């Protein structure tokens, strides 16, 4: 079984903010593959289903971003999921809006949600999909920026990116993470 976790913050107040792009990608997957993500388990909203022949658990941690690892750890322990079968999807301010970057492992790079996941799993070796949300404007507080919403033009780019990130997650499961990295990491550079 694969665990696909999209990071974000619960409650209406944070819907559609830059920090909640992980939730948006989970919503795309849930809609496309008809998976109900409304079970309240593992400190998350989650749903089990099948994507392209692979059993999956879609997870939207409800612990708030900085404690995402608590939820993921509970799900991993319950379903006995190996770290390499986890795909974490989250926002990245070092990438242009809508740009994707897939990594097999790595440090948190300053992202508190990822820091917490690494702390709870005891490893940095889990695949992830970073979804670019653009750089913070000078003089703007980072927390205010990541909790802000996209402008109309950016939102169009982001909606496309949510679809692409969902496709990337599927490719990671069906064709392997290396293939997905080669396809999606090279994409924006070529355009």
Annotated binding site for tRNA: 14, 64, 66, 112
- Residues 56, 1 contacting (CB under 8 angstroms): yes
Of 19, 42, 111, 120, catalytic:
19
> Look-up: residue for tokens 């980072």?
142
Give the integer Cα–Cα distance in Å for 184 and 108: 20
**Contact of 5 with 89, CB cutoff 8 Å:** yes
d(CA 157, CA 21): 12
111 is an active site residue: no
Identify whether the C-beta of residue 131 lies closer than 8 Å to the C-beta of residue 164.
no
The DSSP output letter for 17 is: B
Q: Give the C-alpha separation, 186 to 118, whole Å.
A: 26
d(CA 8, CA 24): 9
Active site residues: 19
């Amino acid at each position: 079984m694969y665990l696909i976790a999209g990071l974000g913050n619960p409650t209406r107040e944070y819907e559609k903010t830059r920090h909640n792009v992980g939730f948006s990608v989970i919503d795309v997957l849930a809609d496309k593959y008809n998976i109900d993500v409304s079970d309240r388990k593992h400190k998350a909203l989650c749903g089990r289903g099948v994507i392209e022949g692979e059993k999956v658990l879609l997870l939207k941690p409800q612990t708030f971003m900085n404690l995402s690892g608590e939820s993921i750890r509970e799900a991993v322990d319950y379903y006995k999921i190996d770290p390499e079968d986890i795909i974490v999807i989250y926002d990245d301010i070092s990438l242009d809006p809508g740009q994707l970057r897939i990594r097999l492992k790595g440090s948190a790079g300053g992202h508190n949600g990822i820091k917490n996941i690494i702390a709870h799993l005891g490893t940095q070796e889990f695949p992830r999909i970073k979804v670019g949300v653009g750089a913070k404007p000078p003089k703007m507080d980072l927390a205010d920026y990541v909790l802000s919403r996209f402008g109309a033009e950016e939102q169009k780019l982001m909606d496309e990116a949510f679809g692409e990130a969902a496709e990337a997650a599927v490719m990671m499961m069906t064709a392997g993470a290396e293939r997905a990295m080669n396809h999606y990491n090279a994409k924006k550079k070529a355009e």
